[in-house]
């Protein structure tokens, strides 16, 4: 499934300007401890988290995640969004908790 399609289907808010036209989603990963995410998230994953530290941008870029999906309407400092734009990282946001988002991403991707 294309990331653009997922954004529409789950009604996600796009925070970054990074291009994602051709991004394909391979699955998802849920986690807030970045040391774990660095070792576990796979390329093309939708990474669902509430962590709002600037290091999320580097971790998403390192793991080649399709995007960061912030749950619970987590707020981000503007500098973090700017950094994501620089590094071509896509950040999305939703008011839903991680549990629900994971279920929705799973349904969308695996079906």
Partner 1 sequence: MTPNNIVNMAALIGLDAIAVSDHNTVGNVGAVVKAGEKAGVTVIPAMEVETAEEIHVLTLYPSLESAEYAGNEVYKHLPEIKNRSDIFGEQLLMDENDEVIGREEKLLISSTSLSVNMLFDLVKESGGLFIPAHVDRHSYSVLTNLGFIPDDLPIAWIEISKRVTDLDAYFNSRPELRGYRVLRNSDAHYLMDISEREASLSSSVEDIFDFRRKR
DSSP 95: S
Between 33 and 103, name the residue whose CB sits nearer to partner 1. Answer: 33
Radius of gyration of the chain (CA): 12
Between 51 and 109, name the residue whose CB sits nearer to partner 1. Answer: 51
Between 39 and 110, name the residue whose CB sits nearer to partner 1. Answer: 39
DSSP 25: P
Q: How far is the CB of 49 from partner 1 (least distance, A)?
A: 11
Closest CA to 62 of 41, 83, 79: 41
Among 17, 33, 86, 97, binds partner 1 (CB under 8 A): 33
Contact assessment for residue 86 and residue 54, using Cβ atoms and an 8 Å cutoff = no
Of residues 47 through 76, those in contact with partner 1 by CB under 8 A are 51-55, 58-59
């Amino acid at each position: 499934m294309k990331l653009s399609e997922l954004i529409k289907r789950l009604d996600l808010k796009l925070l970054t300007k990074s291009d994602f036209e051709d991004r394909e989603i391979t699955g998802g990963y849920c986690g807030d401890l970045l040391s774990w995410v660095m070792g576990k998230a796979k390329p093309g994953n939708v990474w669902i988290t509430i962590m709002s530290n600037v290091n999320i941008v580097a971790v998403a870029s390192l793991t080649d995640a399709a995007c960061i999906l912030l749950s619970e309407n987590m707020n981000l400092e503007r500098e973090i969004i700017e950094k994501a734009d620089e590094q071509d990282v896509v950040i999305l946001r939703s008011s839903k908790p991680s549990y629900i988002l994971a279920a929705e991403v799973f349904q969308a991707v695996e079906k």
